[in-house]
Amino acid sequence: MTKVVLDNNITVSSIFWKKGNIKEIVDKAINREIKNLTSEAIIDELEDVLHRKFSHPPEIIKREIELLKGYSDIVDPKQKLKVVKDDPDDDKIIEAAVEGKADYIITYDNHLLKLKEFRGIKIVSPKEFLDILNQK
């Protein structure tokens, strides 16, 4: 099964936009067609973003976090990496992907996308990911 790490910009987008490439990817994770990996650090960041940037009420945030946990395997990265020089906060995405032996990181983040790949893990946009899946 294809293993992915969804960056929080993808997860947040899936909360607000219920159609398109992101919905298709999240639906694949929910339906267990792909395996999404996440970590407590990624979940903590998501909770913070939903609260701070979008002022979501605590019960909505809790529901979204539980949904994410429901379609994800939570990994506990053992290795601290310093890969994303321009935005070290993004290292948590790389760490989860490495720990979970992900095949892909799916993101809109240019700091990650410009890496293209790390230790064999391809870093792609949602459209690129779906194009790859549709070629298989």
DSSP per-residue letters across 33-62: SSEEEEEHHHHHHHHHHHHHTT---HHHHH
- Contact between 132 and 26 under an 8 Å Cβ cutoff? The reply is no
The DSSP code for 9 is H
Residue with tokens 């095949």: 103
- Contact between 4 and 105 under an 8 Å Cβ cutoff? The reply is yes
Q: Spell out the domains of the chain, with CATH numbers in brackets.
A: 3-135 (3.40.50.1010)
Confidence of residue 121 (pLDDT cuts 50, 70, 90): very high
Q: Per-residue pLDDT tens for 62-112?
A: 999 999 999 999 999 998 999 998 888 999 999 999 999 999 999 999 999
